[in-house]
Amino acid sequence: MLREMKRREFVKASLATGAVLLAGDMVKGGINLAYGAVKIPEAEKATVTVITDNYFNGLLQPYKIAKRYGIKPGTDVYKMNLHAEHGLSYHIETVLNGNPHSFLFDYGVDFQGVTRNMELLNIDFGTVEALGLSHGHFDHWGTFLQVLKWKKEEFRKGVPLYIGEEGFVERFAQMPGGVLSIGQLKREDVERLGFVKTVEIKDPTPIVPGAYLTGSIERVTEYEKGSPYLLIERGGKLVPDNFIGEYAVVLNLKGKGLIVLAGCAHPGIINIVKHAQKMTGIDKVHAVMGGFHLTGAKPELIQRTVADIKAINPDYIVPTHCTGYDAITVFEREMPGQFILNSAGTRYMFTV
């Protein structure tokens, strides 16, 4: 009720004053931002290519908006297989007023595998306008420095890397046998590349026309509490990581609604989608994609997450990466008309 009132007040105020923000404006306020504070320009087309993921099946057939990477007749099957790993990487393209804009979001782990996929998927580095990173875990930034060095001559000089709070801080996992480092992207290594401009953000920020990074995610569900085993170093001590700097991507597809892409969704995929709805003032969600971090989750957490996604009622649900087999099968069973099984190399063709 309160939310609906806020929405109505916001719409009324916006209509009266035209006071909506356009891409290029930085929205202050982070997790306390107002309902509808961000107006994402509508894309008339968007293509999301999953460069790598935890799963690959070369025999999958095209399905709805999913264009599959297929091994074609006449090609060398030993060189055409895509690589899958515990990692995630996206190439995202928006089209506005006939003009394409593209960026990379996350970079997987294995340099040989990820770069082979990039070549087989014909990723055009020369047109990449920006780089984004969901959060500081190795399975999302692992190849970042190597890929940038590998394609140094093709990337635009000064290409920005948008990175969240604590994006450069070392992360750890508490394992049964002790504490394991799960990576640290170092600021000085990025600076040493010499052609990447680091942009640290906290708030919703446009990454290319038609796409925003969320900034810090407001926590609204009481059941998405995160893992006590994922740690971050603060003040010389290891403490549970609250992923204040994990961000997702939000696109606004003309007439269809929001497309939400998560990395690992440590803040909770429902928190992320609700945050995207709040920041844009758009309730209609066209697609939710990404790692939902439900591997090994208790059945109750999986059931509540799936129930809330069902209530949000996206046209497509594409759980990938760390969502895990158990949760993926529940999404498939509970949302058969909306579920799409991801496979590395799949291109999601969003059209109006």
Task: Report CA 69 to chain centroid distance, whole Å.
Answer: 21
Total number of residues binding Fe ion (CB under 5 A)?
A: 4
Closest separation in Å from C-beta 89 to Fe ion? 11
Is 264 near Fe ion (CB under 5 A)?
A: yes
> Contact region for Fe ion (CB under 5 A) — 8-16, 44-52, 195-203, 321-329?
321-329
CA dist 314 and 325 (Å) reads 21
The beta-strand segments (E) located in 97-158 are 99-107, 128-132
By CB under 5 A, tell whether 137 contacts Fe ion: yes
The verdict on 241 binding Fe ion (CB under 5 A) reads no
User: Long-range contacts: 329-333, Cβ < 8 Å, 24+?
Assistant: 330/302, 330/303, 330/306, 331/306
Nearer to Fe ion, 211 or 322 (CB): 322
139 makes contact with Fe ion (CB under 5 A): yes
Smaller CB distance to Fe ion: residue 121 or 264?
264
| Closest to 198 in 3D by CA, of 133, 249, 114 | 133
The letter for the amino acid at 46 is A
Find the shortest distance in angstroms from Cβ 265 to Fe ion.
9
At 311, which helix (H) or strand (E)? helix 299-312
Closest residue to bound Fe ion by CB: 264
CA 205, 210, 211, 216 torsion: positive or negative?
A: positive
232 binds Fe ion (CB under 5 A): no
Q: Does 312 bind Fe ion (CB under 5 A)?
A: no
Instruction: Count the Cβ atoms, other than its own, within 10 Å of residue 124.
Output: 12
**Judged by CB under 5 A, which stretch of 12-20, 117-125, 256-264, 328-336 contacts Fe ion?**
256-264
Q: Report the nearest approach of Fe ion to the CB of residue 250 (Å).
A: 19
Q: Judged by CB under 5 A, which stretch of 98-106, 131-139, 199-207, 210-218 contacts Fe ion?
A: 131-139
Contact range with Fe ion by CB under 5 A, out of 17-25, 91-99, 259-267, 277-285 = 259-267
Sign of CA pseudo-dihedral 171, 31, 18, 1 = positive
Which range, of 23-31, 90-98, 318-326, 338-346, touches Fe ion by CB under 5 A?
318-326
349, two tokens:
């063709």
The residues that touch Fe ion, with contacts defined as CB under 5 A, are 137, 139, 264, 322
